[in-house]
Amino acid sequence: MMVLMPFTLAEPAAFPVLERIVFAGLAIASGALFWRRFGPILHRILQSRKDADFRLAPFGRRMWEFVSQVLCQSKVIRQRPLPGLAHAFVFWGFCAFALVTLNHCAVGLGVGFLSPDGFFGRFYFYFAAVFALACALGILGLFIRRFFVRPRWLGAKLSWESGFIAFLIFFLMVTYLAAFFVPGGSPAIAALWWLHTLTLLVFLPIIPHTKHLHLVLSPATVFLSRGSFSRIPPLAGDEDFGLVAGADLTRLVSLQAYSCVECGRCTEHCPAANTGKTLNPKEIILGLRSYLNEFGPASAEPLLGKHNPPIAPFQCTSCGSCEFQCPVGIEHLPILVGLRRGAVNTGAWEDDHGAKLFLTLERGSNALGLQTSERDKFIQKQQFPIFDGTQEYCLWLGCMGGYDPKGREIVADFASVMRYLGTSFGVLHKEKCTGDPVRRLGNDLLFQQLAEANLEALTQNKVKKIVTICPHCVRTIQEDWKEYGTPPEVEHHSEFMARHLSQLPKPSQQESIAYHDPCYLGRYRNVYAEPRAVVEHAGQLVEAERHGERSFCCGAGGGLAFLGEETGERVSHVRARELVATGAKTIGTACPFCNSMFRDALAASGGNAPQLLDIAQLTARSLPQQDAPSAS
Amino acid sequence: MSGILVVLEDRDGRIGRISWEAVAAALQLASTVSQPVHAVVFGADTSAVAAEAAARAVNSVLRVDHALLKTYSSDGYTHALEQLIRARQPEYVVFPHTYQVRDFAPALAARLGQSLIGDVISIGGGPVFTRLLMQGRLTGAYRHSGGGPCFVSVQSGAFRSDSVPGGAAPIESFVPTLDTAQIRTRTGEPFRAGAQTVDLGSAQLIVSVGRGIKEAENLPLVQDLATALGAELGASRPICDSGWLPMERQVGSSGQTVAPKVYIAVGISGAIQHLVGMKGSQCIVAINKDPDAPIFEVADYGIVGDLFEVVPALTAAVKAAKQ
Amino acid sequence: MKIVVAIKQVPERDAPVRIDAAGRWIEEADLQWALNESDAYALEEALQLKEQHGGEVIVLSAGPERVGSTIREALAKGADRAIHVDCDDLGQRDALAVARLLSAAIQPDSPDLVLTGLQSDDLGYGQTGVILAELLGLPHASLILHVEKSGSGITVKRELEEGWFQNIELPLPAALTIQSGGAKLRYATLMGIKRAKTKEIRRLTAAELGIAAQASITLDRIALPQKQKTTQILTGTAQETAAALVEKLKFEVRAL
């Protein structure tokens, strides 16, 4: 194979002493410039508060994520295949180049260890050349994308810094590859070596000064991640109220703030940023970085203020597409929720609707502020048995299922599915809001009260298994309540129905149904197939342009369903348009909040809106007529 | 110690309806305890209202005149009535349960070592006074015990003012001893809240319109009803979203939370976002052609029908009733 | 300004109402308790006055041990200290007797302002604040939505009927009963709860205050109102239903 190579492999002979001294001097200067910037950054990260809940275990999971996300660039490629691949080539090029570069510098000091004459050396130089070529093409592609294609989420401003870096990388590769075409011993070899070296020495100090810091930090960020999606860390001690000031920033948060590569994937998918809100997840992270640079991690200066607008975190629907997409391991939700906690736990957040929600839940049982007796009436009307420990499932109604007229229809239909299957279930007399909206809004006091009250009621009633129509309840019960006790097993009705599909009748007509993934079922629980199976059982599944992992939020999450009018365009309207655009006759939902958001959005769109049904309703339509009481 | 004093309030020189209701209550009490009823009027010069009171079936009218009683003050009224009660030694003192009475009657009763039985809705033999407890979820039957007069105030609308027969009662005068120094507060002129463009939050009557109205062109139909009632116009979210009405008229979780005396929902099906914004209304009327619409769940009165027929008929009926 | 806010713990709005065996009160065993709504506004008004003018907010509540949770909630919202009049015979006291208890507890502090909510959500007497003023010899005003300091006294905005208001000037010290809705309530925060742990709650008993339980009015028995809320569907032609509705609005709702 090597015989086929048309060029010779060249390397400069030993350098004169003067050149060696010059090189050594320049290398030290370059290293010092690197450290002058990187040292303080590292210091700020290490100076940040320790993450109280951080555990290195399970090590295997961390290694796997590192191999998959860093070495294999899985997230980078998967979420944006073409630029992702280009980036992966650059990354792999760098990896392959590490040995070459080490040798390159060693040559400068007269201690080169790879020789084109040796077998390994010769092999490796060619090996690296292949990567160099791929890397050069990759960076060229990325350059063209950034400067000529210019996707919206990279921002309107052209980053000349990125252009310069791209040039440096390209030039590094070119000077490496060019050496293959220059005959050995030619003075051009030395010139190429110096050009390559100077490029390297310029590149090194630029790294910590730019977003290319991610080269150094993001492998660590990915490796050290909290490990589960949207994990809200417990507060540590009596003086921890969330992210209030610099002193509350933990090492993970600071590390992540410095790791951001400004790719804008978070912004590209953010429902708030795409509908004219102030919130831009990328700017939140960069704001924290600017904060750290200006005030440092011990400061008492509020985090919401100069570098981050106080309103921004409260526009987050907690859909999690930012965190899900982030290729460098930034966990946006703990940060956004952390900022909310800081503002809410100290009372700094003033919002009429928010305060009303909190006051409602401080006094009452449900987020809608309705009387419990309304729920009792519904239970009686539906003849739902009260859970007494003998039934298999506790059917958790949730606020929407217990009080919202549409949510009640969904619960009633799901109950008829369970009845048809002969599955025993009961409902609780005393069910309070799971605390989902207040958890996401950062009200730890209220969340704790609700979680504890519910856990107590469940323990008293000896509930082992819960099933519910609401993915927010599922998530909150299963993950968030763990801070205050051991919740029972919980599943979403889509999972329950998917398991029993073979026993459920199929409709004769197959109408088209566009399924909308709820964030709290998809990204939060990784449940994509089950509701689709239910939809396919009931009709013809149609996918919206954005679906599955990349589904777009309905706008209700993160407590926003309760926070009053949105600025800019409504998230629900954007998503409803996408669903209508599928041309499906029916929109299938699997979350009562999504359902209620679309109900309004479709009503406002007027015209011939598709019908809107939960997957439980889609399923119940095919059941033989029962003597079950009507809904609501 | 005997007799029933019933304390009347006048507004702009006329005795108000709720005061006549208090007289009706006093007369009913009189029939169970067999005691005379004396009406009490207050002011700087009560000749006109005293004459008005004397034309009803009370045993006598007591004029309490003093320059310092020209405008209401808790101190002035408490002192004056204390003197009257000490002088007349009645067994019962009956008030209309007005904002003014709530302001001074508890202090007056306390000064005489008593507790007021307030906001009474019915009076039974014994006498037993019934009032609402737990925000109207319970009724409680109260008795007065021990010496001293029994103070009672009656809820607006609980007794029928038109049940008070006419009569010709003698008028007596009582002049209390009052001193400027005794009146510690200074009361300003009543005013209305500044003219806001839309204030659904404090509106007493609201007519709200939803998607059942179909076209923006049909809105005047509902506006006419609101105007006839003297009500504010509200709307559900889709109406405001479509730009048919401004956002500040939106009732619901993302708009305004309202609690009027009467809320008329026209062509509103009752999405939860809407329901949570208006569930605090004292009386909810729903007009919708869909008998299964969730709005009927929360309504006190429902009309299942075509709003394009019902609303104009209602507007006409309201206009007729107001004439 | 030294402000005492008298607050009451009442059954949660949502609480199930079950009449007890004696028929004189509801079963308390299963109840959840909360701060009375208008008292929450009284507390808010006091906290805002303190924030503007400095001073101290003291919350005062009478009742059995369970009242402690409501007192802590008030401390968490920003009150500086609390007085708990520990007694479990509130049911045997009428409004005057309860006010005597409270006034005896207030007296040693001689506050500039005594605030209470307009009315309790359970018994709904709406008298305690006014009686307190009488017992303490203070001028008072009721149904107050807003308080402003003016010179040596205060100017308050009082709600009248049918959308009317009036301003009243009072010298200090004074007592006010606060109407719900005048201010925006603050929500309870984690920080507030943690800070409240170190605040003083002084416990007094009725015996220590020397106030015996007595009542000139007694609650004999309670009952569920006969009319429960149901939806009346009016039927007929458009004209008939319209006429029927106007009739209802005029005579039953009394809104026309």
Q: Say yes or no for a CB contact (<8 Å) between B131 and C124.
A: yes
**Residues in chain B within 8 Å Cβ distance of C170:** 184-186
The CA distance from C187 to A41, in Å, is 38
* Beta carbons of A219 and A66 less than 8 angstroms apart: yes
- Do both A215 and A296 map to the same domain? no
| DSSP-based three-state secondary structure for A234 | coil
- Residue at which a domain ends, from A315, A345, A375: A345
Identify the band that residue C18 occupies on the pLDDT scale cut at 50, 70 and 90: confident
The CA distance from B256 to the nearest CA of chain A, in Å, is 9
* Beta carbons of C111 and C219 less than 8 angstroms apart: no
**Residues in chain B within 8 Å Cβ distance of A595:** none
B306 has a chain A CB within 8 A of its CB? no
Q: Say yes or no for a CB contact (<8 Å) between A445 and C189.
A: yes
Ordered structural domains, chain C, with CATH: 2-205 (3.40.50.620)
Task: Give the pairing of strands B150-154 and B116-124.
Answer: parallel
The CA distance from A484 to the nearest CA of chain C, in Å, is 15
pLDDT, mean of residues A408-431: 96
* Beta carbons of A241 and C191 less than 8 angstroms apart: yes
Residue A526: give the domain boundaries: 505-620
- Do both A43 and A183 map to the same domain? yes
B24 has a chain A CB within 8 A of its CB? no
Q: Say yes or no for a CB contact (<8 Å) between A372 and C192.
A: no
A235 has a chain C CB within 8 A of its CB? yes
Q: Say yes or no for a CB contact (<8 Å) between A345 and C185.
A: no
b/e B147-166 (16+ beta carbons within 10 angstroms → b) = ebbbbbbbbbebbebeebee
Non-local (6+) Cβ contacts of B119 within 8 A are B97, B131, B132, B153, B154, B155, C124, C126
A539, HSE (Cβ side, Cα atoms, 13 Å): 24
| Tokens representing residue A285 in the block | 């992270």
Task: Give the pairing of strands B138-144 and B4-7.
Answer: unpaired
**Residues in chain C within 8 Å Cβ distance of A445:** 188-190, 193
Residue-level pLDDT at C54 = 96
Segment of A127-131, C5-9, C90-94 carrying the highest mean pLDDT: C5-9
Q: Is residue A57 part of a domain?
A: yes
**Residues in chain B within 8 Å Cβ distance of A599:** 271
- Do both A217 and A282 map to the same domain? no
**Residues in chain A within 8 Å Cβ distance of C186:** 347, 355
Packing angle, helices A332-345 and A281-295, rounded to 10: 70
- Prior bond of C139 cis (ω within 30°): no
Nearest to C187 among A241, A355, A365 (CB): A355
- Residue at which a domain ends, from A499, A523, A540: A499
- Do both A59 and A176 map to the same domain? yes
Percent of chain A with pLDDT over 90: 72
B116 has a chain C CB within 8 A of its CB? yes
Q: Which residue has the higher pLDDT, C6 or B216?
A: C6
- CATH number for the domain that contains residue A519: 3.40.50
Mean pLDDT by 10 residues, chain B (323 residues): 90 88 95 95 93 95 95 95 96 94 96 95 93 87 90 88 89 95 92 67 89 90 94 89 85 83 92 83 92 87 94 94 81
Q: Say yes or no for a CB contact (<8 Å) between B118 and C127.
A: yes
Non-local (6+) Cβ contacts of A596 within 8 A are A400, A404, A406, A407, A556, A561, B271, B272, B273
Give the CA distances from residue A59 to residues A187, A220, A356, A540, in Å, rounded to whole numbers and listed in that order. Answer: 51, 13, 44, 43
- Partners of chain C (3+ Cβ pairs below 8 A): A, B
**Residues in chain B within 8 Å Cβ distance of C126:** 102, 106, 118-119
**Residue A341's closest chain C neighbor by CA?**
C190
Give the CA distances from residue B14 to residues B61, B73, B92, C109, in Å, rounded to whole numbers and listed in that order. Answer: 15, 19, 24, 45
**Residue B298's closest chain A neighbor by CA?**
A374
* pLDDT over 60 (residue A627): no
Segment of A419-428, C163-172, C204-213 carrying the highest mean pLDDT: A419-428
pLDDT, mean of residues A182-196: 81
* pLDDT over 60 (residue A1): no
Nearest to B317 among C19, C216, C243 (CB): C243
DSSP-derived secondary structure letter, A548: G
Q: How many domains are there within chain A?
A: 4
Identify the band that residue C162 occupies on the pLDDT scale cut at 50, 70 and 90: low
- Residue in this structure with the two tokens 């009449």, named with its chain if needed: C19
* Beta carbons of A75 and A66 less than 8 angstroms apart: no
- Do both A160 and A204 map to the same domain? yes
- Do both A331 and A373 map to the same domain? no
Q: Is residue A352 part of a domain?
A: no
Mark out the alpha helices in A480-521 (DSSP H runs): 493-499
The CA distance from A527 to the nearest CA of chain B, in Å, is 27
Identify the band that residue A11 occupies on the pLDDT scale cut at 50, 70 and 90: low
Identify the band that residue C169 occupies on the pLDDT scale cut at 50, 70 and 90: very high
Give the CA distances from residue C191 to residues A56, A351, A446, B94, in Å, rounded to whole numbers and listed in that order. Answer: 31, 18, 12, 50
Non-local (6+) Cβ contacts of B227 within 8 A are none
DSSP secondary structure, A342-388, as one string: HHHHTT----HHHHHHHHHHHHSSSTT---HHHHHHHHHHHTPPBP-
Q: Is residue A526 part of a domain?
A: yes
- Partners of chain A (3+ Cβ pairs below 8 A): B, C
Interface mutation target, options A243, A341, A445, chain C, most CBs of C under 10 Å:
A445
Percent of chain A with pLDDT over 70: 96
Measured in whole angstroms, the distance separating CA A70 from the mean position of its chain's CA atoms is: 16
A54-91 tens-digit pLDDT: 888 889 999 999 999 999 999 899 888 899 999 999 99
Residue-level pLDDT at A478 = 97
A495-534 tens-digit pLDDT: 999 999 999 999 888 899 999 999 999 999 999 999 999 9
The CA distance from C97 to B115, in Å, is 9
C221-235 tens-digit pLDDT: 999 876 556 789 998
Q: Which residue has the higher pLDDT, B195 or A592?
A: A592
Q: Say yes or no for a CB contact (<8 Å) between C188 and A346.
A: no
Nearest to B101 by CA among C127, A265, A61: C127
- CATH number for the domain that contains residue A97: 1.20.950
Could you tell me where the beta strands, DSSP code E, fall in chain C?
Answer: 2-6, 9-11, 33-35, 56-63, 81-86, 113-117, 140-150, 153-159, 164-171, 174-178, 201-205, 217-223, 232-234
b/e A272-308 (16+ beta carbons within 10 angstroms → b) = bbbbebbbbbbbbbbbbbebbeebbbebeebbbeebb
Ordered structural domains, chain B, with CATH: 4-182 (3.40.50.620), 200-322 (3.40.50.1220)
**Residues in chain A within 8 Å Cβ distance of B237:** 600, 603-604
A200-210 tens-digit pLDDT: 999 999 999 98
Identify the band that residue A3 occupies on the pLDDT scale cut at 50, 70 and 90: very low
Q: Say yes or no for a CB contact (<8 Å) between C160 and B99.
A: yes
C249 has a chain B CB within 8 A of its CB? yes
For chain C, the straight-line distance linking the first and the last C-alpha, in angstroms and rounded, comes to 45
Task: Give the pairing of strands C153-159 and C164-171.
Answer: antiparallel
Within 10 A of A582 (CB to CB), how many other CB atoms are there? 19
* pTM reported for the whole predicted model: 0.89
Chain C from 191 to 230: CB within 8 A of any B CB: 215-225, 229
* pLDDT over 80 (residue C37): yes
3-state secondary structure B108-167: HHHHCCCCEEEEEEEEECCCEEEEEEHHHCEEEEEEECCCCCEEEEECCCCCCHHHCCEC
The helix or strand, by DSSP H or E, that contains position A202, with its residue range, turns out to be: helix A187-209
- Do both A41 and A133 map to the same domain? yes
Residue type, C222: I
- Residue in this structure with the two tokens 């944006």, named with its chain if needed: A80
- Do both A480 and A580 map to the same domain? no
A446-476 tens-digit pLDDT: 999 999 999 999 999 999 999 999 999 999 9
Nearest to B302 by CA among B266, B277, B274, B276: B266
A248-267 tens-digit pLDDT: 999 999 999 999 998 889 99
Nearest to B146 among C216, C234, C235 (CB): C216
Residue-level pLDDT at B81 = 96
**Residues in chain A within 8 Å Cβ distance of B238:** 600, 603-604
Q: Is residue A575 part of a domain?
A: yes
pLDDT, mean of residues A394-418: 96
* pLDDT over 50 (residue A5): no
The CA distance from A319 to A333, in Å, is 9
| Tokens representing residue C165 in the block | 């208001």
- Residue at which a domain ends, from A442, A470, A499: A499
The CA distance from B281 to B258, in Å, is 7
A114-152 tens-digit pLDDT: 887 788 888 898 899 999 999 999 999 999 998 888 887
* Beta carbons of B303 and B286 less than 8 angstroms apart: yes
The CA distance from B29 to A243, in Å, is 66
B257 has a chain A CB within 8 A of its CB? yes
Residue-level pLDDT at A122 = 86
- CATH number for the domain that contains residue A296: 1.10.1060
Residue type, B154: V
Identify the band that residue C44 occupies on the pLDDT scale cut at 50, 70 and 90: very high
**Residue A359's closest chain C neighbor by CA?**
C187
- Do both A36 and A171 map to the same domain? yes
- Residue in this structure with the two tokens 């067994």, named with its chain if needed: B91
